[in-house]
Structure 1
């Protein structure tokens, strides 16, 4: 199982200890559900294409109308090309040390920190466009003046987003340095109806597949395959009995890749096909 360590896979040995790092990610082939060990928090400013990211507790997809602030940790990301078969994303990585310095300087400590997802969506605007143009001239040089300039640019960006999103953004920033971990059951129940494989869910929980299966059986008393199948098919039966949906409307949202597999599993479980409900 290949796991990409980011930003290490984008850096040289001279960049490893940097608190701030810019990288232009350009691709001509799509990548689907790459297993990523993200070791720094990251701004993702998508310029061309689409990006989808799965986290232990949520997932998100954006195009070039939005940018993402992403919490470090295990995730799966897909980079999808546009019509001209290109993908371009400007990435800005930052350390917790750099973030804490900003919080101590610019954010009141009595703010109420809410439970936040692993990402924060930023609506692109004229400022973001101008800001990205200014970053283009900044390289990842070891030149001290360039490093100092990047620190100022990072602070400028956070101040702008703070003024735009106010307490919502401040709460998210504090969540990035909050060490409270969400429970195993929380991650499982957030992915009940996802299309992720057991191996992918195990990776998001930072476990090997064998460890994940043992832990799951201990928590739920069933194998993960049986438990997920039971939850999804029971949900499908309830939805179909309400009469608002057809089988073709729901199979994707319940984690099945095609209608035939869904129908077969449904009939095996209940003794009749979903179209007969």
Structure 2
């Protein structure tokens, strides 16, 4: 699956001179685990549909009653239609320069929390609905004042969210300018029991599959496919031994697309079928 460079794919010109961009994103079919290289921080104001984003160490799912502020980076996006025949969200991109200018003007020089994450969940409310309507009314592309208008709208939504979420949002904004990158092992350990494929985990590590495999083997002294399979099968066995779940409940999280392949791999490793565990 090709990597989408966002917001570059939405930009008609070669650059966003103001460091701000609004884009109405619509689609009429589901997209699962799309590879996205997000080069700017971005508000995703979800209005119709459902969205899930896989990060290097976690994932988050939201519905049309919520929106997300996402940190720039390599993420996997799943965007699903709901009861409607269309998926729609308004995307608002902002550069680090715009963020730094805002933080200097309106916030203290706080240190981001050590466990900062790549997203912030926003609960949609009447004010946000009104804000999005105002963005839709503005003819930002054709106005000679578009850059100034957009800066005012950016400042408006940031100030509102600071007032709404207070210190939690302030700390999150400061974490966006952190240059720390998740360590390779942290990405691996966070996805041991996910059902992500090797290629998808490699993408979250910002590596090609071949580079990822080479780096993994050096770090863990074992091929990644076998290492992950052993970990996930052992986890599946532990869950079955607890007696609360059946094989049909655990095979997907063990990284298998069907119960038959899971049963074969399980028996090859442990010498018994998963159905034999009571």
- In the alignment, the residues of structure 2 paired with residue 129 and residue 170 of structure 1 have an alpha-carbon distance, to the nearest angstrom, of 22
Post-superposition shift, 1:165?
Answer: 1.3
Post-superposition shift, 1:193?
Answer: 1.5
- Corresponding position of 1:268: 268
Whether the 8 Å contact between 1:198 and 1:209 is mirrored in structure 2 is: yes
Whether the 8 Å contact between 1:187 and 1:205 is mirrored in structure 2 is: yes
- In the alignment, the residues of structure 2 paired with residue 272 and residue 57 of structure 1 have an alpha-carbon distance, to the nearest angstrom, of 33
Residue segments in structure 1 that go unaligned for 5+ positions in a row: none
SS at match of 1:13: coil
Q: Is 1:35 matched with 2:35?
A: yes
Give the 3 Å change call, closer, same or farther, for CA 14–230 of structure 1 in structure 2.
Answer: closer
- In the alignment, the residues of structure 1 paired with residue 112 and residue 12 of structure 2 have an alpha-carbon distance, to the nearest angstrom, of 39
Give the 3 Å change call, closer, same or farther, for CA 80–112 of structure 1 in structure 2.
Answer: closer
> Normalising to structure 1: TM-score of the pair?
0.95
Q: Is 1:229 matched with 2:229?
A: yes
Q: CA deviation digits over 1:63-88, x for unaligned, max 9?
A: 10110001111111122122332111
- Corresponding position of 2:220: 220
> Normalising to structure 2: TM-score of the pair?
0.94
- In the alignment, the residues of structure 2 paired with residue 57 and residue 266 of structure 1 have an alpha-carbon distance, to the nearest angstrom, of 27
Whether the 8 Å contact between 1:41 and 1:95 is mirrored in structure 2 is: yes
SS at match of 1:177: coil
Post-superposition shift, 1:273?
Answer: 1.1
Q: CA deviation digits over 1:119-148, x for unaligned, max 9?
A: 111111111111111111124426442221
Q: Is 1:56 matched with 2:56?
A: yes
> What aligned pairs does 1:123-272 form with structure 2 within 5 A after superposition?
123-141=123-141, 143-272=143-272
> What aligned pairs does 1:49-128 form with structure 2 within 5 A after superposition?
49-128=49-128
- Corresponding position of 1:9: 9
- In the alignment, the residues of structure 2 paired with residue 110 and residue 132 of structure 1 have an alpha-carbon distance, to the nearest angstrom, of 29
Give the 3 Å change call, closer, same or farther, for CA 204–112 of structure 1 in structure 2.
Answer: closer
Whether the 8 Å contact between 1:24 and 1:89 is mirrored in structure 2 is: yes
RMSD across aligned positions (CA): 1.6
